[in-house]
Structure 1
Amino acid sequence: MRRLLAYLTSLTMLFAALAMPAAAQGSGPLVLAAASLQESMNAAADAWTAKGHPRPKISFAGSSALARQIEAGAPADIFVSADEPWMDEVQSKGLLRAKTRVSFLTNDLVLIAPAAKPSRLKIRPGFALAAALGPNRLAVADTNAVPAGVYAKQALTRLKVWPSVQGKLAPAENVRAALALVSRGAAPLGIVYSTDARAEPGVRVVDTFPASSHDPISYPVAVLASSRHKDAEGFRRFLISAEGKAVFRRFGFGTR
């Protein structure tokens, strides 16, 4: 898994580096965004572009991988994380522009199954998740680093289910990879954000985890201290504006 994460990190850093010459020619700022934001962030970029601005370039990955890229010096302009701790990590290294960090989106955590194979599980303390999996595995993002996986582990632990399933995980490098395992039928159940399930017709929501079972799901955005792009702050302000938040609500996100 570490080798895979390192490989994905290097690919994204290469993408960012290749984007820099284009930026000098008038392209938009480079945004490093959590994987769960794919459809919504692209729609927000389209709305910004419609106002006459160069379209932002967006690189999606797990928030943990993106934070490590920033720490390694990836030449980007904006970071959008799917949790507060990874933004805290980047901020603690002095890598955020002062007074640009804002938490602006929320989400829900859900249990999903392939659309063609319904499940009637109800999420409650001690629910029979391990029995429902049988010999199969539960698709989750990396529970040690990726926000969606961390939230999943918190929820399963607080619901007293974690000990029965921790040996039956199919860990993925980000939440969209976990989603794909379920949509392809490679896993009978998975844990993702509600917005991910909404974006994939190949899965359906079995049930929603109680908000009390995990830390609040919060998406912060900030401009990176190293950014010199003239539109970085403007695009950040658009994302947190009423117009920008309306874009994300269309995709099922909550807003602050």
Structure 2
Amino acid sequence: MPLLRCCACVLFALLSVFGVGQARADEPVRVFAAASLTNALEELATQWQAAGHARPVLAFGASSTLAKQVEAGAPADLFASADQKWMDHVAKAGRIAPESRVALLGNTLVLIAPRNRAFKATLREGAALATRFRGKLCTGEPGVVPVGIYAQQALTHVGAWDALQGRIVGTDDVRTALAFVERGECGAGVVYATDARISQKVRVVATFPADSHAPIVYPVALTRDAPAQARAFLAFLRGPAAAKVFLRHGFTRGLP
């Protein structure tokens, strides 16, 4: 009888271990990602689910906000930032697995206007951009939100920052800036090309030269202690099937 009880205990322990392992494997990957990645990652999450995995739980927002949440211990398995600065912030806090970090994607910065109020503009020094439209210019919060950081750099490069500074509306993320321009609440906006292309209510007025701002890079990394399922999902994001989706949504490849 003691032997039978011992065997039963061992069997129960083995079942418990395998049960927990199976449950862990079936748990969805928790992804914190920059708002500009919304459409592409939603599509890729559907592909991942169709391949037999639990659909990832996707949380989108400004990279600055998400980075602070990850730093504070938010339950994320993977963080995708729209710039290196906020990934560096999380890395310094010891919250990511450094070896997993990769510069996955790139993007382009564009000037947009409401479709029925489009104007002509040349993005070069001396072009007097501030005189080309009326009202406010919407972009991410300068100095905080990645698109706002890039926008400030680009507008400064073309000599328009000082003239426009009092007219700039800084938003929580790039999708909010896009929405303001769509509604006509801002006469112009600076967003990523990938965001402009999803809207039928705005028109791209001009594209900022690549050398007018720091390279737009999307670093992606696993958080510390991320499960194997998260590592598999990151490998999927780096693979050829995901690359086709990202390219179709207008992203470019990241740094080599």
Normalised to the residue count of structure 1, the TM-score between the two structures is 0.87
| 1:78-133 residue CA offsets vs partner (Å, 9 max, x unmatched) | 00000111111111111111310000101000000111222111211132221123
What is the number of equivalent residue pairs in this alignment? 232
CA contact (8 A) 2:96 2:221 kept: yes
Instruction: Please give the alpha-carbon distance, in whole angstroms, between the structure 1 residues aligned to 2:103 and 2:224.
Output: 18
Instruction: Please give the alpha-carbon distance, in whole angstroms, between the structure 1 residues aligned to 2:101 and 2:253.
Output: 15
The one-letter code sitting in structure 1 at the alignment partner of 2:234 is: R
> Residue 244 of structure 2 aligns with which residue?
246
CA contact (8 A) 2:25 2:228 kept: no
Unaligned runs of 5+ in 2: 1-22
> Residue 128 of structure 1 aligns with which residue?
128
The one-letter code sitting in structure 2 at the alignment partner of 1:209 is: F
Instruction: Please give the alpha-carbon distance, in whole angstroms, between the structure 1 residues aligned to 2:84 and 2:193.
Output: 19
The one-letter code sitting in structure 2 at the alignment partner of 1:95 is: R
- Determine if the alignment matches structure 1 residue 223 to structure 2 residue 225: no
Instruction: Please give the alpha-carbon distance, in whole angstroms, between the structure 1 residues aligned to 2:31 and 2:207.
Output: 30
SS in 1 for 2:104: strand
Instruction: Please give the alpha-carbon distance, in whole angstroms, between the structure 2 residues aligned to 1:98 and 1:67.
Output: 15
SS in 2 for 1:86: helix
Question: After the TM superposition, which residues 168-207 of structure 1 pair with which residues of structure 2 at under 5 Å, given as runs?
Answer: 168-207=167-206
The 1:87/1:110 distance shift into structure 2, 3 A limit, reads same
SS in 1 for 2:186: coil
- Determine if the alignment matches structure 1 residue 47 to structure 2 residue 47: yes
CA contact (8 A) 1:146 1:174 kept: yes
Q: Match for 2:231 among 206, 212, 233?
A: 233
Instruction: Please give the alpha-carbon distance, in whole angstroms, between the structure 2 residues aligned to 1:174 and 1:71.
Output: 19
> Residue 5 of structure 2 aligns with which residue?
none
> Residue 136 of structure 2 aligns with which residue?
137
Unaligned runs of 5+ in 1: 1-22
CA contact (8 A) 1:95 1:226 kept: no
Q: CA deviation at 1:217?
A: 0.3
Normalised to the residue count of structure 2, the TM-score between the two structures is 0.87
The one-letter code sitting in structure 1 at the alignment partner of 2:218 is: Y
| 1:202-231 residue CA offsets vs partner (Å, 9 max, x unmatched) | 11100000000000000011000143x331
Name the % identity: 45
> Residue 85 of structure 2 aligns with which residue?
85
> Residue 208 of structure 1 aligns with which residue?
207
> Residue 10 of structure 1 aligns with which residue?
none
Q: CA deviation at 1:26?
A: 3.3
> Residue 18 of structure 1 aligns with which residue?
none
CA contact (8 A) 1:102 1:221 kept: yes
The one-letter code sitting in structure 2 at the alignment partner of 1:53 is: H
> Residue 153 of structure 1 aligns with which residue?
152
CA contact (8 A) 1:44 1:248 kept: no
